[in-house]
Structure 1
């Protein structure tokens, strides 16, 4: 059971040994297709290596600007959100909000910039290394500055897409797109254990923190 919960508490999966994905939708030229495909693969590999090394600065350098906006919103919920507001988040967002409350320095959580926040999450090892081999990029579709890579969520027996955005001439990984993978996996585990998403999250928190702290992270920290 503990191994199943390791997957559930992982908020940011990554892949080791990422190969260049097959491109199925093309921009203007064959050479550009190859260049973009290789660049997307390199971006994802840089991110995953940074996660394993707990190198937040490098990880942040290859993340999209929208990543920081999403994590900033979840940070606000962690600080002041009621249980109803936490419950409005997707399941992986709920776990992230609780993890911010339980594992991060409250002063840093209040004052860090959005990019500093994500850097701290990775620096502190809040990304489970056990999940790093769980994801491999599949076929890649590129269109108008956005790339979508197929990812097979084997436990959920479904396919989701990780997204990459071209910003300032470079491909950046849109980290929140990984929530779909995490949520599919979490849902499959919950179904296997005959639990609702809420019950599954309860079990994750109890396993991670114990009863007393699991109850504590249900409370907002305060702005």
Structure 2
């Protein structure tokens, strides 16, 4: 039986595609790698494309807290969330905050340096475990695996990075910085805000934006 040239080409194409196809674990790692590349190159929109719906929901909730919480409510937040609310109120005008959506806040956080490059520059993903549409990858920092896992969720047929899964580690690191500074938490946060912006925060950062 004579085999047509088109059939041979198609067969070779399928074999090649199989050889270069990425495993689910590799696709999970690629999500973090793409996010990392976006942060390091200041490409906020590319970073947004890699995060999951939980991350976007978090930034929407943070925007609501920025607009609504008084000083009592702000002081009850985790140190990372508190710092986020205070910095937004310090750096942006009332008009800018009120016209924002959650995704706008995410983009601003990256473009303004609130999401620092140091959060990803020395990090990568090690072993990956997948269960349905959920995956967790072991954090590798400076080439060494640490006992901490980053979460991913498969949404719209694509693995997406859950940025909020890093926040427990970020809170622990922030608390350590506060302890080492010898300052109270609020003193340290105000010191950091002044360092970031070159201006002292006004008392108005404790008030709702309405």
TM-score by length of 1: 0.71
Corresponding residue for 1:20?
Answer: none
SS in 2 for 1:213: coil
What is the CA RMSD across the aligned residues, in angstroms?
Answer: 2.7
Corresponding residue for 1:165?
Answer: 153
Equivalent runs, 1:15-54 vs 2, <5 Å: 35-54=23-42
Q: Which has the higher contact order (CA 8 A, sep 6+)?
A: 1
Corresponding residue for 2:7?
Answer: none
Q: Note the C-alpha offset of 1:165.
A: 0.6
Whether the aligned pair in 2 keeps the contact of 1:153 and 1:160 (CA below 8 Å) is no
Q: 1:101 aligns with which of 79, 86, 89?
A: 89
Q: Spell out, residue by residue over 1:15-72, the C-alpha distance to the aligned partner (whole angstroms, 9 max, x if none).
A: xxxxxxxxxxxxxxxx9xx612111111111111111222221111111111111111
Q: Spell out, residue by residue over 1:136-161, the C-alpha distance to the aligned partner (whole angstroms, 9 max, x if none).
A: 3233222121112223679xxx7332
- Of 195-204 and 37-46, deviating more is 195-204
**1:123 paired to 2:111:** yes
Whether the aligned pair in 1 keeps the contact of 2:126 and 2:137 (CA below 8 Å) is yes
For 1:106 and 1:129, the matched residues in 2 are separated by 27
Q: Aligned in 2, Cα 1:161/1:87: closer, same or farther, shift over 3 Å? A: farther
Q: 1:85 aligns with which of 73, 83, 86?
A: 73
Corresponding residue for 1:24?
Answer: none
SS in 2 for 1:136: strand
Q: 2:127 aligns with which of 133, 136, 139?
A: 139
Unaligned runs of 5+ in 1: 1-30
For 1:174 and 1:203, the matched residues in 2 are separated by 29
Answer with 1 or 2: which has the greater Rg.
2
Q: Note the C-alpha offset of 1:202.
A: 3.9
For 1:150 and 1:118, the matched residues in 2 are separated by 24
For 1:58 and 1:191, the matched residues in 2 are separated by 35
Unaligned runs of 5+ in 2: 1-18
**1:70 paired to 2:87:** no
SS in 1 for 2:153: strand
TM-score by length of 2: 0.75
Q: Aligned in 2, Cα 1:132/1:98: closer, same or farther, shift over 3 Å? A: same
Q: Note the C-alpha offset of 1:211.
A: 6.7
Q: Note the C-alpha offset of 1:111.
A: 2.3
Whether the aligned pair in 2 keeps the contact of 1:67 and 1:175 (CA below 8 Å) is yes
Q: Aligned in 2, Cα 1:134/1:99: closer, same or farther, shift over 3 Å? A: farther
For 1:217 and 1:204, the matched residues in 2 are separated by 14
Whether the aligned pair in 2 keeps the contact of 1:146 and 1:166 (CA below 8 Å) is yes
